[in-house]
Amino acid sequence: MKELHPYSPEERRKRLARLRARFGKAAIERAKREIKPLIVAKRVGIGLYDDGFIHAGNLAYLSLLAMFPFFILAAAVARLFGRTQDASLAVAAILGRLPADVRHVLDGPIEEVIQGRSGALLWLGAIVGLWTAASFIETIRDILRRAYGVKFSASFWQYRLASMAVILASVVLLFVTFGLTVVMASVHNFVIEKLPISEGIGRGLGFYRLVPGLTLFATFYVIFLALTPSRYRTIECRKWPGALIVTLWWLVTVEVLPDVIGLFGGYETTYGSLAGVMVALIFFFVIGLGVVAGAELNAALVEPGGKALRGEHYEGPYEAELPVEEPAPEEELAAAARRQIGGN
């Protein structure tokens, strides 16, 4: 893999800063007018080609590795709030978003793992699960860092604790979704059964069935917002296009993948008893490509302008006119550490 993405916002920011220092603000305005959909598509395509297949493979492996610990963690949280039965609902809700072949492979083993743990064993599994599932989040963080061209600057423990917080928030969001779905379903049934004259309203309230899809979008939106480098979390740097792409990518994959696999009906002969596991890996690999595509799209839509970070120097007659932006706190600490090492 390349050290830095050549079309990342950071690399484009530095190129525009050099251009502005040499030729002034007018050169930047001309460069902005040249931005077209094809240029955005080119940025996404190059990023997907450079990083997509490597990260998709990592996500496919980590999805299977982290799924079981995630459900153990969900079971522990559910038991903490006296909602033990919600662990099985969590399994059903998440597996319901997967293709039938993948769901068939994972359903039984996951249920056995959840039912077979209780007491201290459950909480030990939850702690290990939290750590393991955080590795999945760290992979997405790396995808976003590479897409935006920003290097890691905080300590390992800071990133790991933040990833654990994201995992815990995901579990809570999962249970909130259950609550919303149950409430909306109850309202829907009440309107249909008790208020026959409101049949049209009842049909409208049937939109509660969209809650799982909206939750999928909200989950990826929150993940992108939380893991995007801090200088690119502003309102101007949109996160919803990437979250929407991943959501649509996921839904289309669920519908299309079984038919595509059916065209190659001999995979049982090739993989034998591991055929189901391979189908699961293929599914998560395709979803991994979608996650990379969403991250690259968000990064490609960013127009950083010709700004310089405090401490950067660009030569040219217009150097004094360069707007200066403060680095993120973790970037400043990392730069100070590098200067200290260099001074020694």
Buried b (16+ CB within 10 A) or exposed e, 117-129: beeeebbebbeeb
DSSP 8-state code for residue 328: P
- Domain assignment present for residue 339? The answer is no
Tokens of 275: 């055929």
- Domain assignment present for residue 90? The answer is yes
- Domain assignment present for residue 267? The answer is yes
- Domain assignment present for residue 307? The answer is no
The 10s digit of each residue's pLDDT in 304-336 is 777 777 767 777 776 777 777 777 666 655 555
H runs (alpha helix) in the chain: 9-23, 25-33, 37-47, 53-80, 86-95, 100-115, 119-148, 156-194, 199-205, 211-227, 240-263, 267-271, 275-300, 329-343
Q: Which residue has the tokens 């969590």?
A: 90
- Domain assignment present for residue 25? The answer is no
What is the number of domains present in the chain? 1
- Domain assignment present for residue 206? The answer is yes
- Domain assignment present for residue 83? The answer is yes
pLDDT for 196 = 55
Q: In which band, very low, low, confident or very high, does the pLDDT at 232 lie, cut at 50, 70 and 90?
A: confident
User: 287, 110, 149: which is closest to 231 by C-alpha?
Assistant: 149
pLDDT for 1 = 44
Mean pLDDT of 264-269: 62
Q: Report which of residues 139 and 199 the model is more confident about.
A: 139
Mean pLDDT of 275-293: 86
d(CA 216, CA 16): 36
pLDDT for 205 = 47
Mean pLDDT of 10-36: 73
d(CA 234, CA 225): 9
Domain around 143: 36-302
User: Does 207 have pLDDT greater than 60?
Assistant: no
d(CA 64, CA 106): 9
- Domain assignment present for residue 277? The answer is yes
The 10s digit of each residue's pLDDT in 126-161 is 777 778 778 888 888 889 988 888 877 666 677 777
The 10s digit of each residue's pLDDT in 66-121 is 777 777 777 777 776 666 666 677 677 777 777 777 777 777 777 776 666 666 66
